[in-house]
């Protein structure tokens, strides 16, 4: 299945251009001997793993970046990898995007690729990230970063082990309005924070499906490699609906209505509170089907409340957060022209606060650009593995509380539930061979 490598790999684009003018246009990365660490003046060679609708959107967000070249796509579904190839080839005006169906072959052979974009669906995010980082790639992975607490730990360990740069698709951490809200909190505009509210998806439930869709004839492996599609998840018979997005809300493949948006909003809140290296210590079970109203408490006493907000009393957009303090509050969600605040005078500080944040942190208001800058500077991204692991641990713990229908206490240092064997058993799931770590 493997085809030839891309004819175009890395080439200089800044000050190095003149020095390299005499170098042939077709230059593999190995000529520079620098694959794995991209100097400021060179291009980043990208590949994709499992890009559907969302992944294509992120890829299209990446392609205009001038120091990026997308060269290959890996997907167990033929139609999807062909579609990506057509988009990429059309953009570059060539036929160079190479297709792979086997992630192991892809990662083993494409040593020229610096970074991969992963948007496979929840079940593969952690494993593909681990495989890619182990193969020396930097990673942009869609959320959620992991299906279990243990998977998240493995992502953190692998990134640290090989010095890899990893960004999770929590793009609101790189958007002006959400940044403004976080800065209002950080700079004390809101006073002492006592409560943050995090939006969870208003559809589905915390309990997910355990049924199997009716078995359909297995397509040829080149069309859909079903074993690879399932990856580390328990086997089940093939049904095309899974491959068309209807894996959502199945326990084996999804992280529930809490994870669907909580992967974003919990991360937003924990970053705003500067609690992204820890997790809440208490989870209060609520007797409904979604977790709506669940109160989670951090060790410092701050409450994080899950809000389904079906009647839009808090937000009128998706993935909202609201921070409440002794001096005021701020609320933001997708589609807002600007934050809703208790004190409208704060709006006049919008530009200053966002620009100060950018200059102080050197984080651009572009999530993919942050990744590319970090690939070159080797610093951590804004949605780095630790932050994602901790906020996803919050998601997993909230889910576990709902599944067990009881309050839980969590030790963020040991990363285990306190005196609750059943809850602790949920921290990992045995991965299906050979898709183990």
Partner 1 sequence: MFKSRICVLAMIVVLFAGLVPTWAQTVASKSDEGKLIATLTSPDASRKDKADACRQLSIIGTKAAIAPLASLLGDPEMSHMARYALEPIPDPAVDRAFRDALGKLSGRPLVGVIASLGVRRDAEAIEPLTKMLMDGQAGPLAMAAAVRTLGLIGTVGAAQVLTVSLDHAPPEGMLDVYEGLFRCAERLAAEGNGEEAAAIYARLRQVKEPHQVRAGALRGAILMRRGRERATLIREHLGSDDYVLFAAACQTALDLPAPGITRVLIESLPQLPADNQILVIQTLGKRGDVASLPALFDAARTGPTEVRLAAIKAMPEIGEASVVPVLAGLMADADGRIAQTAKESLASLQGPAVDQVVMTMFESPEMDKRQVALDLMGRRRMTQAVSVLLQAAGGAEGRLRPAIIRMIGELGGPDRLPALLALLDGLESPQDLDAARQAMSVVCAKADDSQAASDMLVDRLGQSKPPQKIVLVRVLSGVGGPTALAAVRRAVDDPDGDVRAAAIRALGTWKTTDAAPELLALAQSADNATEKMLALRSYVGFAARRDLPVEVRLAMCRQAAGLIERNDEKTLLLGTLGGIDSVEALGLIEPYLADSATKQEAVVAALGVADRLLSHRDAGQYAAKLIAPLEKVAQAAPNDNLAERARTLLAQARTKAGQ
Under the binding rule (CB under 8 A), the answer on residue 430 touching partner 1 is: yes
- Report the C-alpha gap between 118 and 98 in whole angstroms: 16
Among the residue ranges 61-69, 76-84, 94-102, 210-218, the one whose residues contact partner 1 (CB under 8 A): 210-218
Largest CA distance in the chain: 70
Nearer Cβ to partner 1 (42/307): 42
DSSP secondary structure, 233-287, as one string: SPP----HHIIIIITTTBTTT--HHHHHHHHHHHHHHHHHTT-TTS--SEE---S
Q: Using the rule CB under 8 A, which residue among 44, 208, 305, 382 binds partner 1?
A: 208
Under the binding rule (CB under 8 A), the answer on residue 425 touching partner 1 is: yes
Task: Tell me whether strands 303-307 and 193-199 are parallel, antiparallel or unpaired.
Answer: parallel
Under the binding rule (CB under 8 A), the answer on residue 414 touching partner 1 is: no
The distance of closest approach from Cβ of residue 138 to partner 1 in the complex, given in angstroms and rounded to an integer, is 10
Q: Using the rule CB under 8 A, which residue among 27, 31, 63, 358 binds partner 1?
A: 358
Q: How many CA atoms lie within 13 A of 55 on its CB side?
A: 26
Under the binding rule (CB under 8 A), the answer on residue 35 touching partner 1 is: yes
With CA atoms as reference, report the closest residue to 322 among 197, 426, 180.
197
- Report the C-alpha gap between 292 and 165 in whole angstroms: 35
Under the binding rule (CB under 8 A), the answer on residue 346 touching partner 1 is: no
Nearer Cβ to partner 1 (163/191): 163
The distance of closest approach from Cβ of residue 90 to partner 1 in the complex, given in angstroms and rounded to an integer, is 28
Q: Using the rule CB under 8 A, which residue among 235, 240, 241, 327 binds partner 1?
A: 235
User: Which residues ranging from 90 to 119 are in contact with partner 1 (CB under 8 A)?
Assistant: 108, 111
Nearer Cβ to partner 1 (192/433): 433
Q: Using the rule CB under 8 A, which residue among 2, 195, 246, 318 binds partner 1?
A: 318
The distance of closest approach from Cβ of residue 312 to partner 1 in the complex, given in angstroms and rounded to an integer, is 6
Q: Using the rule CB under 8 A, which residue among 95, 105, 223, 234 binds partner 1?
A: 234
164-190: burial string, b at 16+ Cβ within 10 Å, e else: bbbbbbbbbbbbbbbbbbbbbbbeebb
Nearer Cβ to partner 1 (135/173): 135
The distance of closest approach from Cβ of residue 277 to partner 1 in the complex, given in angstroms and rounded to an integer, is 14
User: Which residues ranging from 71 to 90 are in contact with partner 1 (CB under 8 A)?
Assistant: none
Nearer Cβ to partner 1 (41/342): 41
User: Which residues ranging from 147 to 176 are in contact with partner 1 (CB under 8 A)?
Assistant: 150, 157, 161-164
- Report the C-alpha gap between 43 and 115 in whole angstroms: 11
With CA atoms as reference, report the closest residue to 128 among 114, 149, 142.
142
Nearer Cβ to partner 1 (38/59): 38
With CA atoms as reference, report the closest residue to 60 among 52, 370, 212.
52
Cβ distance 96 to 28 under 8 Å?
Answer: no
Under the binding rule (CB under 8 A), the answer on residue 136 touching partner 1 is: yes
DSSP helix/strand/coil, 84: helix
- Report the C-alpha gap between 321 and 71 in whole angstroms: 37
- Report the C-alpha gap between 359 and 59 in whole angstroms: 26
The distance of closest approach from Cβ of residue 432 to partner 1 in the complex, given in angstroms and rounded to an integer, is 5
The distance of closest approach from Cβ of residue 94 to partner 1 in the complex, given in angstroms and rounded to an integer, is 27
């Amino acid at each position: 299945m493997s085809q030839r490598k891309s004819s175009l790999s890395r080439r200089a684009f800044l000050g190095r251009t003149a020095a390299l003018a005499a170098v042939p246009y077709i230059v593999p990365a190995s000529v520079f001997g620098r694959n794995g660490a991209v100097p400021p003046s060179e291009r980043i060679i990208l590949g994709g793993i499992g890009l559907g609708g969302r992944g294509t959107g992120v890829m299209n967000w990446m392609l205009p970046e001038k120091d990026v070249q997308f060269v290959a796509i890996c997907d167990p579904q033929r139609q999807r990898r062909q579609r990506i190839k057509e988009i990429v080839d059309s953009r570059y005006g060539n036929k160079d995007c190479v297709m792979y169906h086997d992630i192991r072959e892809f990662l083993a052979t494409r040593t020229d690729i610096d970074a991969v974009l992963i948007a496979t669906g929840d079940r593969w995010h952690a494993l593909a990230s681990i495989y890619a980082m182990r193969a020396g790639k930097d990673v942009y992975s869609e959320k959620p970063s992991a299906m279990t607490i243990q998977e998240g730990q493995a992502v953190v360990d692998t990134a640290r082990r090989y010095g890899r740069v990893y960004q999770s698709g929590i793009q609101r951490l790189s958007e002006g309005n959400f940044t403004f809200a976080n800065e209002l909190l950080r700079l004390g505009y809101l006073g002492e924070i006592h409560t943050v509210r995090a939006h969870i998806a208003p559809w589905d439930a915390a309990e997910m499906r355990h049924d199997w869709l009716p078995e359909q004839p297995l397509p040829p492996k080149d069309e859909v490699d079903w074993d690879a599609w399932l990856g580390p998840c328990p086997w089940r018979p093939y049904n095309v609906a899974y491959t068309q997005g209807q894996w959502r809300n199945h326990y084996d493949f999804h992280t529930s209505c809490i994870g669907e948006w909580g992967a974003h909003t919990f991360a937003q809140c924990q970053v705003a509170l500067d609690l992204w290296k820890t997790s809440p210590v208490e989870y209060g079970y609520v007797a409904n089907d979604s977790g709506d109203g669940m109160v989670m408490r951090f060790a410092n006493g701050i409450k994080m409340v899950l809000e389904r907000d079906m009647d839009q009393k808090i937000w009128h957009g998706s993935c909202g957060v609201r921070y409440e303090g002794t001096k005021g509050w701020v609320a933001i969600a997708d589609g807002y022209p600007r934050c809703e605040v208790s004190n409208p005078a704060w709006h006049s500080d919008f530009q200053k606060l966002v620009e100060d944040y950018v200059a102080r942190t050197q984080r651009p208001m572009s999530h993919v650009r942050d990744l590319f800058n970090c690939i070159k500077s080797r610093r951590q991204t804004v949605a780095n593995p630790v932050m994602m692991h901790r906020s996803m641990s919050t998601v997993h713990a909230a889910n576990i509380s709902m599944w067990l229908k009881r309050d839980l206490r969590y030790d963020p240092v040991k990363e285990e539930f306190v005196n609750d064997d059943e809850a602790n058993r949920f921290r990992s799931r045995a991965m299906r061979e050979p898709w183990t770590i």
